[in-house]
Structure 1
Amino acid sequence: MAIELSYFTNQQQFEGLTFKNFKPFLLIINDQEFLAEKIIRLLPQKRLVLSGVWQNKKVIIKVFFDKQARQHFNRELIGYHLLEEKGIAIAPVFFANELSVKNVYAVIYLEFYPAKKISQLIENENEERAEFWLYQTQQVITKLHQVGLLQTDLHLNNFVLVGDDIYLLDYASIKQATDKKKQLENIALFYVQFPANLFHLIKKLFFEYCVLCQQSNDPLLEKSLFTRIQALSWQRGQAFQKKCLRTSTDFVASHSSTQLSVYRRSEEQQMLLAFIKDPEKMLHSLPTKILKAGNTSTVLQVMMDDKWYIVKRYNVKSWWHFFTHCWRKSRAIKSWCNANLLQLMNIPTAKPLAVIENKVLGLTTTSYVLMEFLSDEILLDRLLITVDQEIIQQVIKILNELAALQLAHGDLKANNFIIAQERAYLIDLDAMKHYRKASLWRRAFKKDILRFRKNWWLYPEILQAFNVIDKDRL
């Protein structure tokens, strides 16, 4: 039985679109039907990107429908024409105009297929291949700078590999600029998006950038670059942590006077939604093991849909505790945001799935964070059995990556490292902090390292192995 598709004929239909209520629909464009098949990106009540079919071709359509729709549409076209004029590889445009739906504008591009985002390539490939793709992407950015252009909203998802060529996406943020300071800021914006394990490539890539742009790579320029990278890293971290608490392509958020909840869209399932609705009821009805029962927090291992998860519940231990904490950001929210930040930077941690704050009159009471279950083997147990050099090197790598980002854990005990499938993971992130000032970070990170080494004072061989943590940063 054929499914009857609805036609979009007014602006309100676009404004009401969400990921949850989306169904394929039809649009009339130049007297021909466009079939919208999937939402790729959505800024609620502003604009969206869809994949679909038009004139028997697989296409991408960008639709602008808020009060500034025409302005955003014009920026997209201006950027496109600047790139086309300078010979930068971009997708062909098939249509660009106001739709028959009044005050709604659209641009239709050819959909590249197959296409792989550079962000996915560097995440899934080994370090040598990741370096190759970053170098190739930098070549595109360098070419932009050489012809006096910048992509001001530069991020790795805006570059896709099609065949052997890297194509640039998102043309609304293309600006004309020949100023060397602005170009340095722009290349720093590129470097700050590297996963933490690839930060060490920046010096090499920047040297190659300077050669191509005919700039002298002197120590002062390099120092200026890294100062800017640290500032941008902090800004990016703050922006991302805010993103973790609102509805977006990756997350679904709900805010009310009685509850705040956020979960990963990719993990949406009936059991998860039931847990979010009433976590205590689910904890009492599901198979559960108590791993830690403290006054301020309880850690539980919970089975949902034949799979184990970890729930950390942050308790209210007294009225005084409630009054001094109810107005602050909860530890569950801090843990959720920090875990997502580490995931973004490709630093091994348990995948965060959902966070819940229960509220009374808008004030936080108990809160919960739900994570994947990795293993019950902790670092302390592993190293007391055998001085595993591979695991030690992984832990050192994690600590050096935290240092590169100016992150301090805040409670760096050996049992906050989990060993799963011969890989080390950092957990218990509710005290972790991202520092803007290097001096404050150094003080906090030194405390972290001192606390970590206390675990090994009775074990000289292990203590000696951890002495190679990057001292240059301290």
Structure 2
Amino acid sequence: MTDSLRDSLERGDWTVPLPATLVVDGSDMQLTDCLRLLPGKRVTLAASWRKKAVIAKLFLPLAAKEQTAEVSGYTALSEAQIATPQLLWSGTLDNGLLAVIYQKLEGVESLASGVAGARREAFLAASFELLSKMHRAGLWQADIHFDNFLLAGGNLHVIDNATIRQQSKALSPEQAIDNMAAFIAQFPWRERAALLSSPALGLPISADKKTARSSLEQRSRSIWWQRADKYLKKVFRNCTDIAVSRHRGWYLAHQRTLDEIWLERFKAAPDSLVVKGELLKDGNSATVVRSRIGERSVIIKRYNIKNAGHRVRRLFRETRASNAWRAAHLLQMAGIKTPEPLVLLEQRRGPMRGVSYLVTADAGGEEMLDAYQRREPTEPELEDVREIFRIMGELQLCHGDFKAKNFLVTDLGVQLIDLDVLHAVNSKSSFARCARQDRERFLRNWYAHPAMEARFKNLLTTPDG
């Protein structure tokens, strides 16, 4: 089984054969669950070994430097008395795979769930304190993100030790701020303002606080966009969350967790699922239906080609489905509620594009105008609307069609849909113009309802404040 595991890694498979057994230092190790996989390089597995629950990191020989860095990072953290899971064994297995074995932490809570829960401020304080302690010891994580921190036994533990970097003295204020900014950039943009004003935020002791905070704001913005740009490229290729395939003139990108049988049916005959779905919109530019993936309700949007002239004009342009796919992932990163993007399907012939489809989760709810003709908006719903405008203003995003029907009032709050032309604008003057148009279009929804129009006018601010 060890050989098949190595073969799977070398082939670049996105799955590994489990359960499996391999021999580590003369004792059998039972491998049960894949926790993280980087095809062609390494895999992290939950396992049991010598009557202990362990985490096994296995590397191909070409990733030997990563194994060395993993052990070096562990040593640096341990010497600085920074909590990290205990290293039990490292070395080379009989089949040539390299291994690093850690004691598995019990009763673990992830940082991602912690900062989203009731003990948010306690988690943030612990996080900032841990980062400050690392910085004072001359340590930092080169690839900092939520998954690299786990709470267990009342302590925040650092994992992914291969990304630990070390220098002989404490980080300079500039270095510390840069690493802190990278941490803040992991949060949805919606939370950024609260983080930057959090009393738990630990700025370097030797730094001028006003200058340090200004630098932190600028660097966290820059790093957030760098991270977003990198992620928005990943959603169009094979990665941990997204699977991509090409077959007979079709390009398909989808969440890896989706049902494979349904995906094959959809790829083979997408229009048959559109025809069989519950019709929601039958327009010249798009057809929208409600359908199902097993027990899950979904929305399928087909972007129509109106005529031969329209086909020629769009032949070498990015499809609207592709832009909406990217935009939905961007809004999720930003913390703006939008139906979860599930599938992108496009006709492709080299650089040429044809008909395209987007499948999203069915958010349910009702269009905003219908909802607020029956009742008053709730305070959380008003907050959602305010946040949509605030975040899009800060990120300089333009939607292009703020009709009320593109705001869904759902059990999860107000969700923004119809992202076909949503885009970022670099020029401040150009953004001010399109943001003003978005705001004016939104307010026009309420001309027949003066009280509601006045309420939203009071709620919203213009891009220049």
Fold shared by both chains (TM-score > 0.5): yes
Match of 1:305 among 291, 294, 299: 294
Partner of residue 455, structure 1: 445
Match of 1:183 among 176, 180, 203: 176
Contact 1:230/1:405 (8 A) holds in 2: no
Partner of residue 3, structure 1: none
Secondary structure of 1:209's counterpart equals: coil
Alignment of 1:213 onto 2:205: yes
Provide, for residues 122-148 of structure 1, a one-character-per-residue CA deviation record: whole Å limited to 9, x for no partner: 33x24xx32332222111111111212
Distance 1:39 1:473 in 2: 49
Distance 1:217 1:66 in 2: 47
Secondary structure of 1:452's counterpart equals: helix
Alignment of 1:249 onto 2:243: no
Alignment of 1:165 onto 2:159: no
Distance 1:122 1:208 in 2: 14
Match of 2:406 among 399, 416, 422: 416
Alignment of 1:74 onto 2:68: yes
Partner of residue 90, structure 1: 84
The alpha carbon displacement at 1:435 in A equals 4.5
Contact 2:2/2:95 (8 A) holds in 1: no
Provide, for residues 368-412 of structure 1, a one-character-per-residue CA deviation record: whole Å limited to 9, x for no partner: 111111225101112223332423332112322333444332322
Contact 2:189/2:333 (8 A) holds in 1: no
The alpha carbon displacement at 1:454 in A equals 1.9
Partner of residue 330, structure 2: 341
Contact 1:378/1:414 (8 A) holds in 2: yes
Partner of residue 368, structure 1: 357
Match of 1:394 among 364, 384, 408: 384
Partner of residue 36, structure 2: 41
Distance 1:438 1:77 in 2: 48
Partner of residue 103, structure 2: 110
Distance 1:198 1:13, change over 3 A: closer
Distance 1:241 1:74 in 2: 31
Counterpart code for 1:454: R
Match of 2:197 among 195, 198, 204: 204
Partner of residue 230, structure 2: 239
Distance 1:378 1:49, change over 3 A: same
Alignment of 1:321 onto 2:327: no
RMSD of aligned Cα (Å)? 2.4
Write out aligned runs for 1:243-282 (5 A).
243-256=234-247, 258-282=249-273
Distance 1:206 1:14 in 2: 45
Contact 2:291/2:299 (8 A) holds in 1: yes
Amino-acid identity (%): 28
Distance 1:66 1:445 in 2: 53
Q: Which ranges in structure 1 are unaligned for 5 or more consecutive residues?
A: 1-5
Distance 1:131 1:321, change over 3 A: farther
Q: Which ranges in structure 2 are unaligned for 5 or more consecutive residues?
A: none
Provide, for residues 318-355 of structure 1, a one-character-per-residue CA deviation record: whole Å limited to 9, x for no partner: 33332332333221122122212323343211111111
The alpha carbon displacement at 1:455 in A equals 1.6
Contact 1:261/1:355 (8 A) holds in 2: yes
How many aligned positions are there? 460
Counterpart code for 2:404: A
Contact 2:436/2:463 (8 A) holds in 1: no
- Of the structure 1 ranges 450-459 and 331-340, higher mean CA displacement relative to structure 2 is found in 450-459
Contact 2:435/2:463 (8 A) holds in 1: no
Distance 1:224 1:85, change over 3 A: same
Provide, for residues 25-83 of structure 1, a one-character-per-residue CA deviation record: whole Å limited to 9, x for no partner: 2222212222221111111111111111122211111122163x111212222222111
